Structure 1
Amino acid sequence: MAIFRQYIAPLLVVLVFVFALVAVSARIFLPSDMAAPAPIEKIEVTSQPIPTDLPPATPNLAS
């Protein structure tokens, strides 16, 4: 257990830190349009569907 605390755990912490540093630093090499934050689009809420949007009624063939 001492080997894990002295060698393996600190190595895992350093590896996670290095991975995060590389992931964040990769933005430098992206094209300028991809390095910007994503645009926020407005979402339009539509009202109730109008009767013309409904499929045509099928006749009742059971009778």
Structure 2
Amino acid sequence: MEKTIKLDENTYILDMEEIHVITFKLDEDFLKTIDDLVKRLGYNNRSDLIRDAIMSYIDYLKENERSL
């Protein structure tokens, strides 16, 4: 897993040597929601928002002591 350092609410530093590209499918309505959030929250792109959402969910699971 890549090394991640959280700078602030919307900014992470990632060890780019460890980044892997993944592909998945989303329906059009869900993609529109993501695009709207990218613009509204000031993210640079979809990947940044999705990465932040995944990291936040993992943190939530850890805080609630759910096993991963």
After TM superposition, the score normalised by the length of structure 1 is 0.32
More helix as a share of residues: 1
**Max radius of gyration: which structure?**
1
Normalising by structure 2, we get a TM-score of 0.30
Q: Which has the higher contact order (CA 8 A, sep 6+)?
A: 2
Question: Which is richer in strand?
Answer: 2
